[in-house]
Amino acid sequence: MSNFGFNALWGRSAFNVEVVDAHGRSGGLACLWNPVLFCCENVIKDRFSLVLSGILVLTGERINLVNVYASNDTSVRRNIWVNLVGIKNAVQGLWVFMGDLNEVRDASERMNSEFSSANADAFNHFILYTGLCEYQMGGGGKFTYISDSGKKLSKLDRFLVCLGFMEKWPTASVMALTREASDHRPILLSTTPTDFGHIPFRCFISWLEVPGFMDLIKHLCQSFVFNGPADLALSVKLM
């Protein structure tokens, strides 16, 4: 099973936990959270999913976290999508779906393994119907599942979030971490900004002595076109 992190829930206090037991060596889910940061009010679970519904304490917003471990069986997996659609439509708030969804969205997410366009279409339809979207995954590779000594690669693990979540955290990032004991790479969703913006503008006095420098600056300023507040125009001009 892959490991997942949602940094808004982490802290130093004791964690609460909910689990779905494994069936032999198959399945099994676990969710841990810090009650100081997340107040869990309801839990919905079955063999393939574990839903935590509650409140982000710092903002008072409702959020629903869905941990998924999808079946290898195609027909069962499609029933999982139908069940998750019903759950999302019944509960308000922000949504984060995460886990081993055991499916890809297009042929580029598989290498040296069978791709089923019908299965991908069903998965993409589920994503479209629920209004979910996905951050681009970083971490030095687009595949999360590795089998047969690295010959077969697939992107089976991902985070899917609602539009409201992405609008609230537009700079959030998803990273695929280093694989250790598992055949899956752990993935981490972080809402903490890691891009601190453009490098501050600097102008050295020596530049003013370069022939033609001031003429170039005047030309660039006169040809600059921007519709918006003057302070924002200046900020864009200095980028």
Q: Looking at residue 1, what is its pLDDT?
A: 37
DSSP 205: G
Alpha-carbon dihedral sign for residues 125, 130, 131, 133: negative
Predicted TM-score (pTM) of this structure: 0.74
Q: Could you tell me if 111 and 218 lie in one domain?
A: no
Q: Could you tell me if 219 and 166 lie in one domain?
A: no
Q: Looking at residue 194, what is its pLDDT?
A: 61
Q: Could you tell me if 219 and 112 lie in one domain?
A: no
Q: Could you tell me if 147 and 86 lie in one domain?
A: yes
Q: Could you tell me if 181 and 215 lie in one domain?
A: no
Q: Is residue 10 situated within a structural domain? A: yes
Q: What is the pLDDT along the chain (239 residues), one digit of tens a residue?
A: 344 444 445 445 578 999 999 888 777 899 999 999 999 999 999 999 999 999 999 999 999 999 999 999 999 999 999 999 999 999 999 999 999 999 999 999 999 989 999 999 999 999 999 999 999 888 767 899 988 677 899 999 999 999 999 999 998 999 988 887 788 989 999 988 665 556 666 777 888 888 888 888 888 878 877 676 676 667 666 66
Q: Is residue 103 situated within a structural domain? A: yes
Closest to 71 measured CA to CA, from 128, 153, 185, 156? 156
Q: How many domains does the chain have?
A: 2
- Specify the CATH number for the domain of residue 138: 3.60.10.10
Q: Which domain holds residue 229?
A: 205-237
Q: Could you tell me if 181 and 125 lie in one domain?
A: yes
Do residues 203 and 167 make contact, with C-beta atoms less than 8 angstroms apart?
Answer: no
Give one DSSP letter per residue of 34-60, joined into a string.
-TTTEEEEEEEE-SSEEEEEEEETTTT
